[in-house]
Amino acid sequence: MNSDINVGIGEDSIVSNGENKLLKATGLGSCVGVFIYDKERKIGGLAHILLPRSPNHKDKKSLKYADVALNDLINDLINKGARKDNLVAKIVGGAQLYFVENDTLKIGERNIESVENILKEMQIPILGKDVGGNYGRTMEAYISDGRVRVISFKVKEKWI
């Protein structure tokens, strides 16, 4: 029984009801890590999102896109026994690591906006976030109590 699970970019979201105590997303630059948690049943899942929205093409329905990944994560949580009305979220990442003038290239900002809009549409409140800035992060989500630890080389560790 492994207690640490790392979720890579665009990989299947990982959902746990306690058999894995720590879900982790490392190297969150412009990517956004989304932890969704049923606070009553102690079931949580993590997605590591690369891009804001999937193109309208059946072959492009990859979990690297916010809309696809969050839909998949919610379905996985419900299939594991979570109740939709108990779900809450915490989001980390969405940095702008390099200067760009073109808004289209501000992927971090666009990822944050997309994740926030999708969660709002799904009526899942965001209880905590550490987003934006110009530095990368690692996100550790604890299934036992729903806490998220944010680690970065540039700023002090924090809990959300």
- For position 51, which CATH number holds? 3.30.1330.200
Q: Which residues of the chain have pLDDT under 50?
A: 1
Q: Token digits for 92?
A: 């980390």
Instruction: Please tell me which residue in 14, 15, 28, 31 is annotated as part of the active site.
Output: 31
Amino acid at 122: M
* pTM of the full structure: 0.92
Paired residues of 138 in beta bridges: 151
- The residue segments making up the domain with residue 127 are 4-159
C-alpha–C-alpha distance, residues 76 and 83, integer Å: 11
Question: How far is 80 from 85, CA to CA, in rounded Å?
Answer: 15
Nearest residue to 30 via CA among 92, 94, 90: 94
Q: What angle do CA 8, 14, 20 make, to 5 degrees?
A: 110
Q: Domains in the chain: how many in total? A: 1
65 as an active site residue: the answer is no
- Give me the residues paired with residue 128 across strands: 90
Q: Are strands 22-28 and 137-142 parallel, antiparallel or unpaired?
A: antiparallel
pLDDT score, position 1: 43
